[in-house]
Structure 1
Amino acid sequence: MKTVYKDVIEANLECIIDCRICFSEMAGKESFNDCPKCCIQCADACGMLIKVMTSDSVFVKQYALLCAEICEYCADHCGEHEHVHCKTCVETCRKCAEACRKIAA
């Protein structure tokens, strides 16, 4: 595994945690958009990117771009809510998307 992925893996792990927290906190609450469903999709995408990076796959850039898109999508939807856990999720998703785009470049 390349050490260049270290920061991206850390951003992905943080995103997985905050997305799962947001999903759990939204359980039973009404949502007018894809939050909390997007949180599970985002956490899954981040987990898959970690697997691809740690196996040093030739598809890292493609997965990283897709992960960045999913993170932005999640941030957009969670950002429409005022809950603290949603705001935390937004920040983490945007940070993760930025990290993913860097390795995809």
Structure 2
Amino acid sequence: MHEQFKECIDECLACVIECNHCYDACLQEENVKMLQECIRLTRECADICAYAASAMSRASTFATEICKLCADICEACANECEKHSSHHEHCKKCAEVCRKCSEACRTMAS
């Protein structure tokens, strides 16, 4: 079962790393208030991606539902990060990784 989830697990773990980087970088920006929703979503996205990877690695009976939720949160995070991607490279990169993770999770959930 683990091998079935391998690609999705890898995408989730990459998303954890990128969301955590974006979260930290946003907190260092001058206008943190403007990035408030981005900060909140990157934190939430990193958490659900870590949980989804963990659930898949242990072949949880809820992996499909968790992956669906993960895909939804990744998509929301990507949409928010894209709003800031012209000014912040870390948001641009985060949006790209979140989109890839969302796609992988949707494929896994279907």
The answer to whether the superposition gives a TM-score over 0.5 is yes
Aligned to 1:69: 72
Question: For 2:34, what is the secondary structure of its paired residue?
Answer: coil
Question: For 2:33, what is the secondary structure of its paired residue?
Answer: coil
Q: Which runs of 4+ in 1 moved over 6 A?
A: none
Aligned to 1:7: 7
Gaps of 5+ in 2: none
Q: Which has the higher helix share?
A: 2
* In 2: Cα distance, 1:32 partner to 1:99 partner: 27
Question: For 1:80, what is the secondary structure of its paired residue?
Answer: helix
Aligned to 1:104: 109
Q: CA deviation at 1:33?
A: 5.5
* TM-score of the two chains, using structure 2 as the length reference: 0.90
* In 2: Cα distance, 1:4 partner to 1:59 partner: 15
Identity %: 39
Aligned to 2:42: 39
Gaps of 5+ in 1: none
Counterpart AA for 1:31: M
